[in-house]
Amino acid sequence: IKPFSSHFPTPGARLMVYDLKEREDSDALIAEGITQKLDYIKTLGVDCIWLSPVYPSPNEDNGYDITDYVGIMPEFGTMEDWEEFEREAHSRDLKVIEVHLPVIINVKQIVMDLVVNHTSEQHPWFQEAKKSKDSPYRDYYIWRDGKNGKEPTNWISFFSGSVWKKNEATDDYYLHLFAKGQPDLNWESEKVREEVKNVIHFWAKRKVDGFRLDVINFISKVDGYPDATIRNCTEISTRSLTPVSKRDAFSKYDIFTVGETPFVTPSHGLQYTHQRNSVVDMLFQFELMDIDGVPGLRFVPRPWELKDIKRITNKWQEGLEGGGWNSNYLENHDQPRSVSRFGSENDPHLRNISAKALATWYIFLKGTPYVYQGQEIGMTNKTHRLIYRLDQYVDIKSVNWLATQKNKNKSEKELLDILYLRSRDNARTPMQWDDTPNAGFCKEGAQPWVGVNPNYNEINVEAAMRDPDSIFYFYQTLLRLRKQHQSALYGTYVPLANQHEKIYAYLRVLPEEQLLVLVNFFPDDSSVNLNEEAEKLPGRRCKLVLSNYKDVDGELLLQEESIKLRPHE
């Protein structure tokens, strides 16, 4: 959720549109920023806020290209604004605790994004490093000579094209796993590790509660830099995670860490998050997010299947049992909107019902649930493909991919269809607060960086707060129930009806309490018979705690005949 103040139209337009006097005179500036939305966030039942990067950046990659790790991007406000945000967030004392068995972690409230696999090319370190081979900053980055006049290896960047860019001044290449404007830091250098520790200390002293460590398993590279067969440009190794581990960098402070780690397995998860010996408190992994694309080829969409959701979820839930801890999520700033992706977005009734079904499914899984801004009101993918043009996609991943498609004979419609399903722009449209122009995110006439989704008239926070049947209130109930029920926090995960193609069923089991979750993932009626698994069930009947259909109440008979579920029930 960003920014602190939303009056600053476009990252990139490096304009200060106010002066200090104006700020003193007017609450309006701050009033629409994150600090003023803390009560809304708290009302939802959220304990902790992860801010995506808010540091100065040329925004080649929406702030994931940082020029100053200890500053605030002027468009978002000042360090004083950040400090006010910190005070206000922490003053909303929270009663509930998040538990990572058996070690109790107090609720953490502010998590900052620590993006230290790479900096921006505009970072003073890189600006110095690229000047000459003798620069004192040279070994902050990764340099290789070309091979026969070409790039040192065949590695492909996550944002298309080679990961190597020629630097004329030194006649060699620097490594960038992401954009050209995001040179990778050289973690072999003691100086780099010290710099990062200083950044951690800077924010820890300012009472940050935790860090989300961006692509932290990429910081060490494959030994010897061999050419890749598919795309093994990085390796997952203890080497990657230890330099920033709790024991070292974070141990002085009561700091929570979540490592963003693409391509990891549950055994990595167990190893790195194990309560006895954890390197990070949680991993944020992506296996489920690849089920509707060809792995590694994000822009080759394919339909998802429930059996893959089951297989991957079972694997992670069971794999981290006994000491590890999962992060569970449906969306983040890199993913399309979940109701567009896995639900029924076109019919307003089914959109509401399916968003609730998805929420129920993941919030009761074992682990910590993450809710991405706007997910709680059912925000959808970036508008309808028929009224969008290719040049309205602005995220670097989409823009660079589009450039690779020039001579590939795809029609404009095909390209738009793919972006509609897969683009990161989908989740980055402004938060829809109300039905005023620009959805209350910025002033009328201002131009937000990504256009507001035109459905803001219908889907917005104000409307959600007015409607007792809204997705927002359902999320609120789910988050409350999760904290009230020991089984939802600690229960062992037991999948049921594993072969069923439409319905996802699972139990969370403690000796004294069992929770059954039954979700129909599809927009038609379906039924499931749990008799064959009777020995796993807690009993013949159970008390209904919550449904996304209003007309059900009372008890559910488990072992009579089939249990019928309506569309997305």
Instruction: Tell me the catalytic residues.
Output: 214, 260
The residue behind tokens 């402004």 is: 430
Q: Which is nearer to ligand TEU, 158 or 401 (CB)?
A: 158
- Minimum distance from residue 158 beta carbon to ligand TEU (Å): 5
- DSSP result, 166-197: EEGGGTEEEE-SS-TT-PBB-TT-HHHHHHHH
Q: Which of 214, 292, 331, 345 binds ligand TEU (CB under 6 A)?
A: 214
Q: Does 441 bind ligand TEU (CB under 6 A)?
A: no
Q: Shortest Cβ distance from residue 293 to ligand TEU (Å)?
A: 8
DSSP 68: -
| 304 touches ligand TEU (CB under 6 A) | no
Q: Report the candidate in 250, 215, 226, 221 with the shortest Cα–Cα distance to residue 237.
A: 221
Task: Report angle CA 440, 93, 32 to the nearest 5 degrees.
Answer: 15
Question: Which of 8, 64, 364, 449 touches ligand TEU by CB under 6 A?
Answer: 64
∠ CA 564-567-569, rounded to 5°: 65
Residue selected from 55, 143, 178, 456 as contacting ligand TEU according to rule CB under 6 A: 178
507: β partners = 494, 516
50 forms part of the interface with ligand TEU (CB under 6 A): no
Closest CA to 126 of 222, 218, 58: 58
Residue from 9, 181, 262, 324 touching ligand TEU (CB under 6 A): that is 262
Q: What are the backbone angles phi and psi of residue 100, rounded to the nearest 5°?
A: -120, 100
Min dist CB 64 to ligand TEU, Å, is 3
Give, in order, the Cα–Cα distances in Å from 56 to each of 7, 14, 52, 53, 73: 17, 10, 12, 9, 4
Q: How far is the CB of 243 from ligand TEU (least distance, A)?
A: 18
Q: Is 286 in the site for ligand TEU (CB under 6 A)?
A: yes
Q: Cα separation of 375 and 111, whole Å?
A: 19
284 binds ligand TEU (CB under 6 A): no
132 neighbors 169 (Cβ within 8 angstroms): yes
DSSP, res 246: I
Q: Tokens in use for 160?
A: 């298309």
Phi and psi angles of residue 287, each rounded to the nearest 5 degrees, phi first? -55, -40
Q: In the complex with ligand TEU, which residue's Cβ is closer, 9 or 336?
A: 336
Report helix, strand or coil for 466: helix
Indicate the residue among 59 and 455 with the shorter CB distance to ligand TEU: 59
Q: What's the CA angle centered on 514, arms 509 and 517, to 5 degrees?
A: 95
DSSP 357: H
Q: Residue 291, interface with ligand TEU (CB under 6 A)?
A: no
Nearer to ligand TEU, 67 or 455 (CB): 67
CB-side exposure of 326: number of CA atoms within 13 Å?
29
Closest CA to 244 of 203, 272, 216: 216
- Please state the length of the chain: 569
115 binds ligand TEU, rule: CB under 6 A? yes
Site membership for ligand TEU, residue 215 (CB under 6 A): yes
Least Å distance, CB 260 to ligand TEU, is 6
Examine residue 55 and tell whether it contacts ligand TEU (CB under 6 A).
no
1 near ligand TEU (CB under 6 A): no
Under the criterion CB under 6 A, does residue 289 sit at the interface with ligand TEU? yes
Shortest Å, Cβ 137 to ligand TEU? 20
Contact letters (x/-) for ligand TEU, 145-164, by CB under 6 A? -------------x------
Query: Which residue is closest to ligand TEU by CB?
Result: 64
**Per-residue contact string for residues 352-391; x = within reach of ligand TEU by CB under 6 A:** ----------------------------------------
**Rounded to the nearest whole angstrom, what is the least distance from the CB of residue 264 to ligand TEU in the complex?**
11
Q: How far is the CB of 268 from ligand TEU (least distance, A)?
A: 15
- Asked if residue 206 lies in contact with residue 255, where contact means CB atoms within 8 angstroms, the answer is no
Pairing between β-strand 514-520 and β-strand 503-509 as defined by DSSP bridges:
antiparallel
How far apart are alpha carbons 273 and 261 in whole angstroms? Answer: 12
Tell me: does residue 121 bind ligand TEU (CB under 6 A): no
Residue 325 found at the interface with ligand TEU (CB under 6 A): no
Please tell me whether residue 280 binds ligand TEU under the rule CB under 6 A: no
Size of the site for ligand TEU (CB under 6 A): 13
Residues near ligand TEU (CB under 6 A) are 61, 64, 115, 158, 178, 214-215, 260, 262, 286, 289, 333-334
